[in-house]
Every structure is written in C-alpha cells, then in structure tokens.
Structure 1
C-alpha cells in the first residue's frame, strides 16, 4: 500500500482526503499542517506538524516517513489577500512548492500539486489541459509559477487544477461560496453577486477523490478537475437559494466592474473534463447532488 503525505491537511481539501482515506483505506496517510490537527478523528493515519515554509522541517518530515506520493494542498488562495500581501503569497505558493518539489525530486517521491483555473485569463473557457495559461491576478501568477517549477522536476509530477471548491467541515477556518450564500440569505441579508463570471463549482469530495485516483493510477501530467456544470456566480447563488428554499428577492445581480476589486478575476473559466474522465475514471457529482451532500453533513 502506498504511503501518501498531504500538506495543508486542516484545509477543506486536506480534511476531505483524510475522510476518504479513512472510509476506503486505500493508502497509508501522513496528514501534515502547521499547528494542531483539526480533523475530529485522530486514529487510522499519522498526523505530523509541518510548516511548509520551513525547508529543514519539511526535509526531516519527508525523511522520517518516506512517502511514495506527496499531495501539496497548502496554499494562500484568497485572491484579494494575495494581491495585498505579495510576499506572503509568493513565499507560500511558490517558494514552499519549490522546496517540496526539490525534496521530492531528490527522494524519488511522486509530487502532486493542486492548482487553479485562475492560471487562465477567462477569455476562452472552458479550458483543456494544454491551453496556454495567462493569469490576470498575482494569485494566478503565483500558482502558474509553482506549476512551472513542478513541470521542471526530473521526477514524477502531476498538476491538478480545480475551480471554486465548496463543501463543509466541522471546524471551518474559512467559508466558501455555497456556505456564504446560504448563511447570508438565511440571515435575511441582501447579497450582491456578479452575473458576468462563469465557473464550474467543484465539490470538495470530488476533488479529494480525484487526488486519490491520481495516486491509484500513477497519473502524470496536468489534469482538470471540477464539477460538470457551467454557471454564473449569480446562477450558483440562486441555485443555493432554491435548494434551501430561501428568499431570492434578496439577491441583486451586478457586473464585476461595479465591485471595484483590485485583483482581476477571469470572466469565464470552466474545464473540459474528458482527460480526467478517461484516465482517472473521474465522475463528478452534479451541483444538486453536491448541495444535498452538504445538507446531509450539516445534519
């Protein structure tokens, strides 16, 4: 059985990978994150504290556990904070990735890097794996730089790009579009959402499954992983309102320009999923099914 080390294991994707491993027992898991383990179940895997910005600590942890595969999920992903805090974003998204990729190369570890649709400019979505990236934001540039570092490795590497991940944890450090929309509408708040940005929202469980399928099949190269349905952000929020029978009159549709965000967003991303479906047997849930799973987990 392969040993898989995951960085950022306290995040949404990291915890969903832990959940999947515990349910299926497909790999030996070493979950790592800075600070204490937030996953509620502590048995059935190893937890190790790891600050990926600390190269010495990263080397010591990898030498101790000698994983076959490293899935690197730790990242700064808030587009506006990345825009404001360039150095912190670059250190976590680029320098830490370079450190881990180099260690994996030296130690013969398969390196799986989780990236984003924001490496594209959004003028020609939906995108295939070999379409040319052209990021608009500092966040997108940092993720593309890390992708290029990954691709220059002499060892085995995989890049998994994804889009607008949503889901629920018991101990959420940050929200996502579905939980934000549900929470705001339940409180009776007016919400303004853009109607000129298109995405294919991704259920966190589907992304976790795809990461483990890449391990299972030893998949190399770039893979696009998302939900299968294209919608505007406004449509997404309306679907959330419909699903939980919330008041859609609270939703106001606006244009991206009216938000005045400093960090630019791509207009229309979306992925063509044929490669992942063929190579990995990837089958995403529908958005409706994803919302039903979130509802069930909310209890």
Structure 2
C-alpha cells in the first residue's frame, strides 16, 4: 500500500481526490487543509490540519507520513483576491509549493491553471508559451517553474473552469449559480466574449489519478472538450433544467469591474492526455446531468 498526501482537501478538487483514492485499497490517503476537516465523509483517510506556508509544519507532516506521492491542489485560486493580496497569493501558491518540494522526494503532481496563458491564441497545448496577465496566473507560472526544477519526478496538470457539487454549501459554480438565480426569477448578466473548456471535477480527479498511477511526468492539459463561452454554458443549464433563459443578459467582460484581468480565449487541446493517459472527459451536457443527479 502506498501513501498519498493530498493538499487542499477542503477544496472542490481536493474533496473528489480524497474520495477517489480512499476508495482504492492500493492507497493510504493523508488529506490536509487549512483548519478543520470540512468534508462530509470523515472516514477512510487521515486528516491533518496544516498551514502550507509554515515550513516547519510541512516538514513535520511529510516526515510523519512519508508519502510516496503528493498531489498539491491547495492554492489561492480566486484571481481578484490574488490581485488584492499579492503577498498572501505568493506565499500560498509559490512559497508553499517550494516548501513541499524541499521536504519530500515523493512523485509530485502540481495543479495549475489556464490563467498561465494570455488568452490571445487559445485553445492551448502543453508546449505553448506561458504569458500570464494576472498576478494569480504569474504565481502559478512561478510555482510551475519551481516544480520543473525539482529533484523528484514531477507532473503538472493544468485545468480550466472546474465545476461540480461541493460539500461546502457556500461554494458556487457556473451550473448552480445559473440554476439558483433563474429558479428565483432573478435576472443575470453572463459574459459572451470569453471562451473556456469547462471541466467536471470528477473528470479532473480521474485525470490526476491516471497521472499518478502511470507515474507520467511532464505537463498535461486536463479539461473538458467543449469550447464555450459562459453564456453558452448558461444557456445549456437553462435548457437542461427547463428554466427561463430570457432572464439572462448577454454582456461583454468589460461590463464588470474586476481587479484581475481575465484571458479572453483559453481552453485546452487535450489530445496528449487522451492519447498518453486514456483521459476521457464528459461533455458539458453530460456534466450538467451528473450535477443534477447529485443535487436531487
């Protein structure tokens, strides 16, 4: 039995990674997050509260459990928060990653983002040049470079606009946000000049497990396969739940004042992950149906 350490276990992806690996008898799961364990399922794994920006705490955690694999999904991911709190973003996304790498010799899988790209030439392949336009994106590029320079075997899984049902009722996503507002008869403004390949969280977790099981090294793009605008996504949600799409107003991104710039057109070409890993993400419509079943 191998031990795997999963950081950011209270987050959306972390929740599904913990569930996926703890259901596999080949793995002993150690989950870590900031503060108490907030997952609904509390058994089948060990939970350790830890501040990843505390070097001594990280060293102690790794020395105690000696994981053969680390999936580092813990991060500060809200782009506007990163723009407002650059020191906190740097500490959480860059320094913590370096501490984890320095403390271990484990196979290291780092979760990254489409925001490492400028959005001028998407969808992107793994070997396209990074050029972030936000501090969040820049922090992820710096962390990626630290991973690439590491002594241990590593992989980087970049992803795009992850959605799914979280144990945390305060955590929203494109599906629950559209559904919730339209069910209440509220009008919403939805951007129609940005493009993404939205990613079902279950598919992302499976993609990460494929990387770990195959000890696949290098960069992999793991996302959905449908290139869509948020407005396209909202229309699909309204149609699937038989809600009033006339409540939605199609707008440009510059309608909103946001501290962090968003890349206009990202999305990923996932051919490498499909061919090398056997990655097989669901369509966005299939993803909506999966979310619907979880919500009922």
Note if 1:139 corresponds to 2:117: no
Counterpart Cα distance in 1 of 2:275 and 2:170? 34
1:274 to 249, 261, 271: 271
Cα-to-partner distance string for 1:212-252 (whole Å, 9 max, x where unaligned) = 11110001010000001000111011111111111100110
Q: CA deviation at 1:174?
A: 2.3
Aligned residue number for residue 212 of structure 1: 209
Q: CA deviation at 1:272?
A: 0.8
Q: CA deviation at 1:289?
A: 1.2
Aligned residue number for residue 292 of structure 2: 295
Aligned residue number for residue 149 of structure 1: 146
| Structure 1 residue ranges (4+ consecutive) displaced by more than 3 angstroms after TM superposition | 22-26
CA contact (8 A) 1:136 1:266 kept: yes
Q: Compute the TM-score of the two structures, normalised by the length of structure 1.
A: 0.96
Q: Matched residue of 1:199: which SS?
A: coil
CA contact (8 A) 1:196 1:267 kept: yes
Aligned residue number for residue 93 of structure 2: 93
Aligned residue number for residue 248 of structure 1: 245
CA contact (8 A) 1:97 1:146 kept: yes
CA contact (8 A) 2:22 2:28 kept: no
Q: Compute the TM-score of the two structures, normalised by the length of structure 2.
A: 0.97
CA contact (8 A) 1:115 1:143 kept: yes
Q: Matched residue of 2:224: which SS?
A: coil
CA contact (8 A) 2:155 2:216 kept: yes
Aligned residue number for residue 190 of structure 1: 187
For the aligned residue pairs, the C-alpha RMSD in angstroms reads 1.2
Note if 1:130 corresponds to 2:144: no
Q: CA deviation at 1:173?
A: 4.4
Counterpart Cα distance in 2 of 1:74 and 1:172? 19
Counterpart Cα distance in 1 of 2:170 and 2:259? 24
| 5+ long unaligned stretches in structure 1 | none
Aligned residue number for residue 222 of structure 2: 225
Q: CA deviation at 1:26?
A: 4.3
| 5+ long unaligned stretches in structure 2 | none
Cα-to-partner distance string for 1:78-127 (whole Å, 9 max, x where unaligned) = 111111111111111111111112212xxx21111100000000111111
Give the number of equivalent residue pairs. 296
Aligned residue number for residue 20 of structure 1: 20
